[in-house]
Amino acid sequence: MSLRRGAAALVVAAVIVVGAGCAEMRAPQGAYVDDDAITTTVKARLVEDKTVDADAIQVETAHGNVVLSGVARTTLEKSTAENIAMKVRGVKTVQNNVALRP
C-alpha cells in the first residue's frame, strides 16, 4: 500500500508544480482552485483510501462540479467516494454516477 501512497503524493506534488500556470477558478473561500487540481486531488484521496478501488472510479471536473463514474463493489464504497470528493476544496457539487457491480 505504500506504493499507492507514494503515487498519490507524487500526483499531488505535480498538481502543485503545474497548478501555478493553469487557468484558475475562484473557490468560495477566496482561494483559487482549477478543475484539473480538483480532479487530481480527488483521485489522490481515492487512492489513499483503502476502502475504495480508485482504479475503478473515474473523476471529471467542470467549473467545480465533480462527476464520478465507474463501478463500485458495495454501496459503502460508492458513498465513500462521493464523501471524499465533497471534502476537496473548490468542489461545488458531486454527481455520483458510480454503478454497483452485479
Q: Number of folded domains in the chain?
A: 1
Question: What is the domain range of residue 90?
Answer: 2-100
Predicted structure pTM score = 0.70
| Strands (E) located in the chain | 25-26, 32-33, 57-62, 65-72, 93-96, 99-100
Per-residue pLDDT for the chain (102 aa), expressed as one digit of tens each?
Answer: 566 656 555 555 554 444 444 444 444 554 557 999 999 999 999 999 999 999 999 999 999 999 999 999 999 999 999 999 999 999 999 999 999 998
pLDDT for res 49: 96
Residue indicated by cell numbers 471529471:
60
